[in-house]
Amino acid sequence: MHKKIILTGLLSLYSATSFAAGTAPEQTTYTQASLDNLARNLEVKHEFVDSYPEQCPNNLDECYRSKIHLEYPHNYQPKLGNWAIYFSQLTPVQTVNSSEFTITHINGDLHKITPTKQFSGFSANQPITIDFYNYGTQITRSEFMPNYFVYSEGLKATIIDSTRTDIHPETGLETQDYLLPFTDKQTQFKLSKTDNTQWASAQQIYATTPEVPQGLNLSGRLIPQPASVEITSNKTIDLSKGLSFTTTGVSTAVLAPAIERLNLVGLKTSKDGFPVNIIVNSELNSNANNEFQSVEDYRLTSTPLAITIKASSNTGAFYGLMSLAGLVSVKHQVIPSLKIKDSPRYRFRGLHIDVARNFLSKNFILKTIDQMAAYKLNKLHLHLADDEGWRIEIPGLAELSEVGGRRCFNAPEKCLMPQLGSEITGNSQSDGYYSVEDYQDILAYAKARHIQVIPSLDMPGHSRAAIHAMEARYQKYLAKGDVELALQYRLVEPEDKTQYSSIQHYSDNTLNVCLDSTYHFIDKVIAEVQAMHQQAGTPLTTYHIGADETAGAWLESPSCDKLKIEQAEKVAGLHTLNGYFIEKISAMLADKNIKVAGWNDGMGETRPQNMPKNVQTNSWSLLFEKGHIATHQQANHRWDTVISTPEATYFDFPYQAHPEERGNHWAARHISTQKVFEFMPDNLPAHAEFWFDSTGHPYRSDDSQSPLDQGVRYKGVQGHLWSEMLRSDSQAEYMLYPRLLALAERAWHKAEWELDYDYSGVVYDENSGHFSKKAQQQRAKDWQSFAYVLGARELAKLAKSDVFYRIPTVGATVENGKLKVKTPFPYIEVEYREVQADTAQSASQNWQPYTSTSEVTGTIEVRAIGADGVRKGRRLNL
């Protein structure tokens, strides 16, 4: 009989006592060898039981139930009573129904399981089951973290081997053998009984995937789509012999990254190649010339005699060459005779990358910059610091990167505690930081590709890494007897007894906004980052302070009590001290000629009249929770408003609603490439006509009380890659591509079918009918052309760039014994096999190429093949 226990979060197993009757137990003294042996042999299985139990403990509105099974291959009784197992669970454990174990939430997502006096040890091959309830919701497999580790006081913590992840040899995707399969399409998939989300089965994908036929004549279609394309004749131009460049007003050296892109797609540089004339003339952008509206505009003309690119700046010429690269495929270097007139929709076309939660390599950033440039994105928002890591070297504050850039266990002076299923050595792929040289290399690389880097070090919340690092610095100088230096950059006040819990369940992640030393620290950090930019030849003009999700800190801070009395006029009218902090940092940045940027929830706590003239706000409010209201309010302040709507721009969410698809779930159960493509950033409330909330229900957007002021426009749109569930560069690329191309499409080009914003204020819902049938038909046709080009040209370019893009899952059904399949993009090879119930099959056996005449019986598996012909997509059965 299995013993039962309940567990949530991170586990630790501490003391143990007597052992039950049976064969003689193995008696073990806790040496490092015995601890390592425990880590090697303990089999851990995590079982997700119920996503919405009938009754939650402690009167919680939301909870979920899990079990952890512990099994040992022989009788085992720890002789000493101080061993423990730790693990990451994103939300805190609430109830453990066990007499043998207790569970403690430590901080963030770290938990531990501790044996009670009733724990009697392991019987050989007899699992102990730990049954527990957690607060909140989890629904995707990637939310259940790996790398449990065992620890005993005085010894070195060791990862439990059975909880490590692996990489599937054919798909390259992470496997989680410690996590039992999710098979129940209700209790392991739905968030409630009324959840309408549909499991992305092969049949469901087939039923909902639009047809995109092969052989369409879309030779002039680009991603992103230009403002105007005119096919001037039926004569095509063969570029297979390469290109020969002639430049006026610009050097080929300045255009080198674009020429490298041309080389990548098969257009080599050759003195005998097809002539390409590039003309840059700043007067084309003069007030007297209305043809060129911005420095990013360009004109591209191709005839059988020559290709000509005209622009008013190097940037425009660069984008003209990128469009030339977009016209060809890697196998066919033929383009049509055409004229392109192009100008961007938005001046701000951004991508946010979180390298703080889990570190992403410098090489990943450089590769991403290449792809951003290829598709005309121009702002890279680097999220360099958060609770789980500080990822940039700051001269004079070595602890920030040396301590804050690493995660290990039980060494607070050397690193942060493990979080998010991280390893515990401090030297894993998800540990690290960019040196000054690394960061300046990134800046220079981006500048050469006409991309501005916007650094962000999140404050005052999300600051645990900074706080912990500065506490290590404090202790170092205190030990040397230098109290003044120790206090110089200290970010906390010991006398502040406020108890709080952040959105990620930290109790110590918010710096004290009432301490002078906090502002000394921030001034030092910004000055050093500004110097790095200056030395790299890319002046720091925008700095993102974060300013979001601050917990209820400082309530019992003596310094804050004092500030409220002595500087009452500075905090009058503010709901929180977070607004005071943002205003003060904004003024500090303005004094340095740096524009302040921040997330809209924090920026909304300020007094607009106390903010600088130039402000950027990123609006990430959920549309189905009336998010358009906050967005409109801040845009009406005349702030530069960047649309960061999670339902369309957060690429850390799954592509499809399926447990195997990596990602979070709080804003959307799935964000496909098509959904990103269908986003209408200029008209946020209108999405209520055809989008749903996070449980698949329609919603209503009433814009009648909070419309934009007449003529107010947004600055731009930004995609986002948060890294809580990304522990490798390849996982990050999987989540980015191909959705990044759809983001680029919407950022650069406003489609004819997009519903214009109505400044009079309109109410939208599924029946309001403002998005006409004609617009719907235009959108469907536009998606077909976008998807065609993506499949026919761009996926192969991603593969050639060594980008680990997501290979789509295959929609399939069987009709009259014949297999029928769909993929979202054309020219994707599909394989299938019949699954034999009584025959063992390896993952690579018996696959056959799909054809329209494929006949099948029984259970079928289908999968797609990547553009490289080698990597396989995730398989589905039907």
As a whole number of angstroms, the distance between CA 241 and CA 35 comes to 65
The token pair that represents 594 in the structure block? 């740096």
The token pair that represents 339 in the structure block? 């004229």
pLDDT score recorded for residue 839: 60
Burial 668-684 (b: 16+ CB within 10 A, else e): bbbbbbbbbbbbbbbbb
3-state secondary structure (DSSP) of residue 285: helix
Greatest alpha-carbon span in the chain: 95
Question: Position 750: which residue type?
Answer: K
% pLDDT > 70, the chain:
95
Q: Is the pLDDT of residue 182 over 60?
A: yes
Q: Is the pLDDT of residue 18 over 50?
A: no
Q: Give burial (CB, 10 Å; 0-12/13-18/19+) of 763.
A: middle
Number of other CB atoms surrounding residue 99 within 10 Å: 13
Average pLDDT rounded to a whole number, residues 600-612: 96
As a whole number of angstroms, the distance between CA 67 and CA 53 comes to 13
The pTM score is 0.94
As a whole number of angstroms, the distance between CA 265 and CA 329 comes to 7
| Residue that wins the pLDDT comparison between 213 and 309 | 309
- DSSP annotation of 360 reads -
Q: Is the pLDDT of residue 19 over 60?
A: no
How far separated are the first and last CA of the chain, in Å rounded?
Answer: 36
pLDDT score recorded for residue 490: 98
As a whole number of angstroms, the distance between CA 819 and CA 877 comes to 12
Residue 720, φ and ψ in degrees, nearest 5: -140, 135
For the segment 407-427, what is each residue's pLDDT rounded down to a tens digit? 999 888 899 999 999 999 999
Cα 615 versus chain centre, distance: 24
Number of other CB atoms surrounding residue 749 within 10 Å: 23
As a whole number of angstroms, the distance between CA 333 and CA 322 comes to 14
pLDDT score recorded for residue 29: 61
HEC letters along 449-492: CCCEEEEEEEECCCCHHHHHHHHHHHHHHHHCCCHHHHHCCCCC
Indicate the pLDDT class of residue 620, thresholds 50, 70 and 90.
very high
558: enclosing H helix or E strand = helix 558-566
3-state secondary structure (DSSP) of residue 634: helix
As a whole number of angstroms, the distance between CA 113 and CA 109 comes to 13
Average pLDDT rounded to a whole number, residues 262-288: 91
pLDDT score recorded for residue 116: 82
**Would you say 798 and 737 are in contact if contact means Cβ atoms under 8 Å apart?**
yes
Q: What is the CATH number of domain 811-877?
A: 2.60.40.10
Fold entry, domain 26-175: Immunoglobulin-like (2.60.40)
pLDDT score recorded for residue 287: 61
Q: Which of 197-201, 337-341, 552-556 has the lowest mean pLDDT?
A: 552-556
Indicate the pLDDT class of residue 289, thresholds 50, 70 and 90.
low
Q: Which of 168-172, 339-343, 442-446, 568-572 has the lowest mean pLDDT?
A: 568-572
Interacting residues of 586 by C-beta distance below 8 A, sequence separation 6+ = 545, 596, 606, 611, 612, 615
pLDDT score recorded for residue 842: 64
Tell me whether the CATH fold assigned to 26-175 matches the one assigned to 811-877: yes
Interacting residues of 569 by C-beta distance below 8 A, sequence separation 6+ = none
pLDDT score recorded for residue 59: 87
Average pLDDT rounded to a whole number, residues 390-397: 99
Pairing verdict, β 452-459 and 379-386: parallel
As a whole number of angstroms, the distance between CA 802 and CA 795 comes to 11
Residue 505, φ and ψ in degrees, nearest 5: 70, 30
pLDDT score recorded for residue 107: 96
For the segment 680-715, what is each residue's pLDDT rounded down to a tens digit? 999 999 999 999 999 999 999 999 999 999 999 999
pLDDT score recorded for residue 285: 74
**Which neighbouring-strand residues pair with 48?**
66
Number of other CB atoms surrounding residue 1 within 10 Å: 4
Q: What DSSP letter does each residue of 288-350 carry, written as one string? A: T--S--STT-EEEEE-SS-EEEEESSHHHHHHHHHHHHHHS-SS--EEEEEEEEE--S-SEEE
Average pLDDT rounded to a whole number, residues 261-288: 91
Average pLDDT rounded to a whole number, residues 789-796: 98
The token pair that represents 804 in the structure block? 């680990």
**Would you say 595 and 542 are in contact if contact means Cβ atoms under 8 Å apart?**
yes
pLDDT score recorded for residue 6: 31
**Which neighbouring-strand residues pair with 110?**
88, 107
For the segment 547-583, what is each residue's pLDDT rounded down to a tens digit? 977 778 999 999 999 999 999 988 988 888 999 999 9
Q: Is the pLDDT of residue 431 over 90?
A: yes
**Would you say 279 and 320 are in contact if contact means Cβ atoms under 8 Å apart?**
no
Q: What is the CATH number of domain 228-342?
A: 3.30.379.10
**Catalytic residue (one of 62, 402, 528, 549):** 549
Average pLDDT rounded to a whole number, residues 287-309: 90
pLDDT score recorded for residue 704: 96
For the segment 748-779, what is each residue's pLDDT rounded down to a tens digit? 999 999 999 999 999 999 999 999 999 999 99
104: enclosing H helix or E strand = strand 101-107
Task: State the chain's mean pLDDT as an integer.
Answer: 93
Q: What DSSP letter does each residue of 662-708 carry, written as one string? A: -S--SS-S---HHHHHT--TT-SGGGGGT---TTS----EE-SSSPP
In the residue annotation, 153 being an active-site residue is answered as no
As a whole number of angstroms, the distance between CA 865 and CA 843 comes to 14
As a whole number of angstroms, the distance between CA 52 and CA 687 comes to 28
Burial 634-650 (b: 16+ CB within 10 A, else e): bbebebbbbbbbbbbbb
pLDDT score recorded for residue 836: 77
% pLDDT > 90, the chain:
86
**Closest to 862 (Cα-Cα) out of 811, 795, 816, 806:** 811
Interacting residues of 167 by C-beta distance below 8 A, sequence separation 6+ = 173, 174, 175
As a whole number of angstroms, the distance between CA 597 and CA 577 comes to 18
Average pLDDT rounded to a whole number, residues 218-239: 96
| Residue that wins the pLDDT comparison between 664 and 293 | 664
Q: Is the pLDDT of residue 30 over 90?
A: no
**Closest to 431 (Cα-Cα) out of 439, 440, 421, 441:** 421
pLDDT score recorded for residue 838: 59
Q: Is the pLDDT of residue 507 over 50?
A: yes
HEC letters along 500-538: CCCCCCCCCCCCCCCCHHHHHHHHHHHHHHHHHHHHCCC
Domain boundaries, the chain: 26-175, 228-342, 348-382+435-461+502-779, 811-877
414: left (phi > 0), else alpha (psi -120 to 50), else beta? alpha
Q: Is the pLDDT of residue 866 over 90?
A: yes
- DSSP annotation of 182 reads -
The CATH architecture that domain 348-382+435-461+502-779 belongs to is Alpha-Beta Barrel (3.20)
As a whole number of angstroms, the distance between CA 738 and CA 100 comes to 49
**Closest to 451 (Cα-Cα) out of 322, 360, 545, 358:** 322
Place of tokens 């390599």: 361
